[in-house]
């Protein structure tokens, strides 16, 4: 997708590994699948920059109690 998309919006469960591993945000007990090598996430962001593809991540999000 990075080869032909100008911009990609990451939301839902796809954003969680990036927010926790790359941007060091605390998301609590949310569903979060981290790759075996978390550096892959940073590498993916760098590859997107090289390909000229802008990645959009949420600027804000809400964390709620499990109740």
Residues 41, 34, 57: CA angle, nearest 5 degrees: 50
pLDDT at 66 over 80: no
pLDDT at 14 over 80: yes
Asked if residue 47 belongs to a domain, the reply is: yes
Asked if residue 11 belongs to a domain, the reply is: yes
Asked if residue 61 belongs to a domain, the reply is: no
Of 8-17, 22-31, 46-55, give the lowest mean pLDDT range: 22-31
Asked if residue 46 belongs to a domain, the reply is: yes
Percent of the chain clearing pLDDT 90 (strictly above): 36
> What range does the domain containing 18 cover?
7-56
Task: Please state the domain count of the chain.
Answer: 1
CB neighbour list of residue 52: distance below 8 Å, 6 or more residues apart: 6
């Amino acid at each position: 997708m990075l080869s032909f998309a100008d911009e990609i919006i990451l939301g839902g469960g796809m954003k969680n590994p990036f927010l926790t591993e790359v941007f060091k945000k605390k998301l609590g007990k949310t569903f979060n699948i981290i790759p075996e090598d978390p550096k892959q996430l940073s590498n993916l962001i760098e590859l997107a920059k090289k390909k000229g593809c802008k990645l959009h991540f949420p600027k804000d999000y809400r964390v709620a109690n499990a109740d």
